[in-house]
Structure 1
Amino acid sequence: MARYHIETYGCTSNRGESRQIESALRDAGHYPVDSPTDADVAIMNTCTVVEKTERNMLRRAKELEQETADLIVTGCMALAQGELFREERVDARIVHWDDVPSAVTNGECPTPGPGVEPVLEGVVGILPIARGCMCNCSYCITKFATGRIDSPPVEENVEKARALVHAGAKEIRVTGQDTGVYGWDEGERKLPELLSRICDIDGDFRVRVGMANPKGVHGIREELARVFAEEEKLYNFLHAPVQSGSNAVLGDMRRQHQVSEYVEVVETFDSRLNYWTLSTDFIVGFPTEEEADHRQSMALLRETRPEKINVTRFSKRPGTDAARMKGLGGTVKKERSKAMSELKMEVVGEAYEAMVGTTQEVLVVEEGTGDSVKCRDEAYRQIVVQHAPEYGLEPGDFCEVEVTGHQTVYAFGEPV
């Protein structure tokens, strides 16, 4: 038996990869420890989405190298930029996600599979439904690690979801680099079917769908919105990263969708759902973004009014086509990012202000600071309940709360 310590960085999909690695390790009799200094092997699951993250990954790898006898590095940065760890003389094995369990004990450990007991994060189970995407974005380095979409059968993912529910999951997070194109490699659009099948599993739980690019969602928008409207277990939450409000910039990004397609997706969900959350991403300061393009992005934000918005300054990633473009100055990116972030807070704040005085059914997902708990309502909006022990609330509980106030990006509530 081996003692392992695992650290995960980046998106929910990456965390799902780590949970599958852990499931296989525990199934083989190995056990986790909290500190790398107490481990026989440390596993670092890396991210490389922006340059700052890349620097942090190298720094942490060097620290782990000193703290443990054996270091395995996996994840997006390891697979897309493994040479950087060698150039920095990090003494580590670069291993694909699927090969980590066997690498821990030189082939004696099974690889993750649907029959392995899942590992939860509290009451949350992460379900990676596929790896890779159908895009070839000019700025993206992750595609070098994940490749094109590879979709396991619907039944396999349903069985994994059922195992999560049986293990105690109250929230299942369906993840992938692009969930909207699940099944496209097999010539089918399978996401609506998969979500319906998961919701048919016996149990009281909720399902959140992870990032789905607008192009993939656009082709299934009517059917997908219908599933959201019909399935009570599905959070009314859609993460569709538009990245820019300018068709010219989207073309340079090779994003595949047009602004109009993104808007049509939003309009379709608006027509089906009375209360839902639109989440989106904007990249500010792409090399070809002119001031007029930036204004178009700001206008799109005002028009569609997403309740959750990720604003990221463009960062050149090595090996991508966008890295060879002449970039904008740091001052320009900073000013545009500041302007969009201010608008974001205005739009999101108005959405949460409108919730005050309403009553929402929520799922307690995790403990917060002090004696508070973090909850999610049917639209996946975060509501914090303070003094939770007084109400006997703990993760996994369902209850009704009255929204009493908000802090711009989350609300406060009291059980009724």
Structure 2
Amino acid sequence: MTETPFTPSDEQTPPRRLFIKTYGCQMNVYDSERMADVLRPLGYATTDTAEDADFVILNTCHIREKAAEKVYSELGRLRELKDARARNSTTATGTSRTSMIIAVAGCVAQAEGEEIMRRQPAVDIVVGPQAYHQLPELLTRMARARGERIGADFAPVDKFDALTFEKIGARSVNGPTAFLTVQEGCDKFCSFCVVPYTRGAEWSRPVAAVLAEARQLADKGVREITLLGQNVNAYDGEEADGKPSTLARLAHALAEIPGLSRIRYTTSHPNDMSDDLIAAHGELEALMPWLHLPVQSGSDRILRAMNRKHGRQKYFDLIDRVRAARPDIALSGDFIVGFPGETDADFEQTMDLVRRVGYASAFSFMYSPRPGTPAASLGSQVPAAVARERLHALQALLWAQQTAFNAAMAGHTMDVLFEKTGRNGAQAIGRSPWLQSVHVEDADHLIGRIVTVEIEHGRQNSLKGRLLHDGATPFKQRDQLIGA
């Protein structure tokens, strides 16, 4: 029997408020935005603090051990808020307040649903990353004190079918940039990673569905989209003729949408960097010159233990081919230090790879054993002090490379997409083609526009620029930044 959807009372004041705290990757950011879209027809408006909220959702990440523990710590704080709400059930004006509803969503919810309910009784709903479209139904069941409060389906088709314009209306947009999930899940089974167990097998959205959502975003003023997936370059969504597409063909189709000027994608796997995708970096002006291509280690021995299914030489060859197609491309990567069995020689191979590639940015972590993954049961665990020392050395090298890359931008002009106002007067903050944050004075009137900027100097994490004029012009100076 179909449940009658939960709806807020017409007599209730103040209106229902929703707070979502997002942990982890960009895909979780996208999912949080879509949760707000799903709940908007039920009368929920977003708020910036949990203290003001009637419904609090923690959208969680399970990649790191500390990330999961942070969730339980936050749940303890929310339980105190919930108890205080129950004790003080009226506002200062005497108006009745609803009790606080707490939900845990995302990958920790998928992996530890029953444990969350047992460990923190204040949690009302647990919902995995493929089942958050069920939130209205789960709210209904909870309100009627019956039925299942855990949604943990692996059904991305059902999820995205429930997120269409016809079902919940247009996506909310908060600026000229937006994330767009096109692929979910992972079939790679790296020995350290929980994603295949929390997000399921690789699955790609049909081309038509992706283009429809992209057009809606462009119609609402979005100028740049970032295509998301656990292995986004494994994208093989169905085309109109029933045949599988590729990420390159999808990018070409997206570039035809009026108003959509910039396309990015993340996260990629080296084994899925196809010939046509590499070529697209040289063919599509809209495809930004920035590539996040995780390698994790520079040691072939450790890469085999990680089950990465590629070696360092294949990675070097890919980088050479991408740079040949797009000479000004900037590289970003992921690195894990202290993987079980990693020796000083293995770590030096990672440092050598970083020196040879040269990164504009990167993410680096100490290995964290995740229950249920093959690596968690390996012997030869690296002492924490050794792993920490290696991490500090790697990060110092990566930060030096990032600082040098940004400093080399000084004196060059580039197109900047202004996203938001800054903290200082009429300052505006935008993004360069290489994803750097760019701060420009007296530019707050240009939010949502792509404008030519001269870079005055570069810092470790941002660039400082000045306006040349207020018009938007195509970026045609890619050659002058070769080797920057």
When normalised by structure 1's length, the TM-score is 0.92
Q: Could you tell me which residue of structure 1 aligns to residue 12 of structure 2?
A: none
Query: 2:164 matched to 1:113?
Result: yes
Measure the CA separation in 2 of the matches of 1:151 and 1:15: 18
1:133 correspondence with 2:147: no
Match of 2:415 in 1: 361
Residue matched to 1:206: 262
Query: Which residue is 1:59 aligned to?
Result: 73
Superposition deviation, residue 375 in structure 1: 1.8
Encode CA deviations 1:246-297: one digit per residue, 9 max, x unaligned: 1110111111222222222211111011322111011011112111111111
Maintained 8 Å contact 1:175/1:210:
yes
Q: Sequence identity, in percent? A: 29
| CA distance 1:173–1:27, shift in 2 (3 Å) | farther
How far 1:127 sits from its partner (Å)? 0.5
Q: Deviations over 1:33-61 (max 9, x none)?
A: 33334433222211122111111111112
Partner of 1:342: 396
How far the C-alpha of 1:415 sits from its partner, in A, is 1.1
Where 2:451 maps in the other structure, the secondary structure is strand
**Aligned mate of 2:301, from 248, 271, 278:** 248
Output the aligned Cα RMSD: 2.3
8 Å contact kept, 2:221–2:259: no
Q: Superposed, which structure 2 residues align to 1:267-306 within 5 Å?
A: 267-306=320-359
Residue in 1 that maps onto 2:152: none
Does the 8 A contact of 2:180 with 2:228 survive in 1? yes
Letter in 1 for 2:461: V
Question: Is the Cα contact below 8 Å between 2:27 and 2:181 reproduced in 1?
Answer: yes
How far apart are 1:180 and its partner, in Å? 1.0
Supply the distance in 1 between the matched residues of 2:51 and 2:402 (Cα, whole angstroms): 43
Work out whether residues 215 and 257 of structure 1, in 8 Å CA contact, stay in contact via their aligned partners in 2: yes
Q: Does 2:57 match 1:43? A: yes
Report the alpha carbon displacement of residue 333 of structure 1 after superposing the two structures with TM.
Answer: 0.6
- Aligned with residue 404 of structure 1, among 435, 438, 456: 456
Residue 375 (str. 1) matches residue 430 (str. 2): yes
Query: Normalization by structure 2: what TM-score?
Result: 0.79
Which range moved further: 392-401 or 314-323? 392-401
- Residue 191 of structure 1 corresponds to 247
Conserved in 2, the CA contact under 8 Å of 1:199 and 1:233?
yes
Q: Residue 183 of structure 2: SS of its match in structure 1? A: coil
Q: Which amino acid aligns with 1:405?
A: H
Give 1:48's aligned amino acid.
Answer: H
Deviations 1:151-210 (A, max 9, x none): 121111111111111122122121111101112899946211111111111114322211
Structure-2 change in CA distance of 1:312 and 1:405 (3 Å): same
2:122 to 78, 91, 96: 91
The one-character-per-residue Cα deviations of 1:327-380 (angstroms, maximum 9, x if unpaired) are: 111111111111111111221222122211111111112334434332222232
Q: Deviations over 1:119-178 (max 9, x none)?
A: 223322210112101210111123221011111211111111111111221221211111
Equivalent position of 1:14 in the other structure: 28
Please tell me whether the aligned partners of residues 421 and 428 of structure 2 are also in contact (alpha carbons under 8 angstroms): yes
Amino acid at match of 2:19: H
| 2:111 equivalent in structure 1 | 80
* 1:283-330 Cα shifts (integer Å, max 9, x gaps): 011112111111111011011112111111111111211111231111
- Kindly state the Cα deviation for residue 395 of structure 1 after the two structures are TM-superposed: 2.8
TM-aligned CA deviation for residue 394 of structure 1: 4.1
CA change 1:396–1:296 in 2 (3 A) is: same
- Matched with 1:158 is 211
Find 2:137's aligned residue among 95, 99, 102.
102
Distance in 2 separating the partners of 1:395 and 1:106: 43
Describe the shift of the 1:55–1:107 C-alpha distance in structure 2 as closer, same or farther (beyond 3 A). closer
Report the 3-state secondary structure (helix = DSSP H, G, I; strand = E; otherwise coil) of the residue aligned with 1:378.
Answer: coil
* Contact 2:26–2:228 under 8 Å retained in 1: yes
Matched residue type, 1:49 = I
SS at match of 1:366: strand
User: Residue 76 of structure 1 aligns to which amino acid in structure 2?
Assistant: C
User: Contact between 2:295 and 2:334, CA under 8 Å: does it hold in 1?
Assistant: yes
Structure 1, 5-14 or 372-381: larger mean CA deviation: 372-381
Asked if 1 retains the 8 angstrom alpha-carbon contact of 2:186 and 2:195, the reply is no
Q: CA deviation at 1:106?
A: 4.5
Q: What's the CA shift string for 1:372-397, capped at 9, x where partnerless?
A: 33222223233222x3xx23444312
- 5+ unaligned residues in a row in structure 1: which ranges? none
Q: How many residues align?
A: 410
- Partner of residue 415, structure 1: 467
1:123 counterpart (169, 176, 193): 176
Deviation at 1:107, TM superposition (A): 10
Partner Cα separation in structure 2 for residue 145 and residue 400 of structure 1: 43
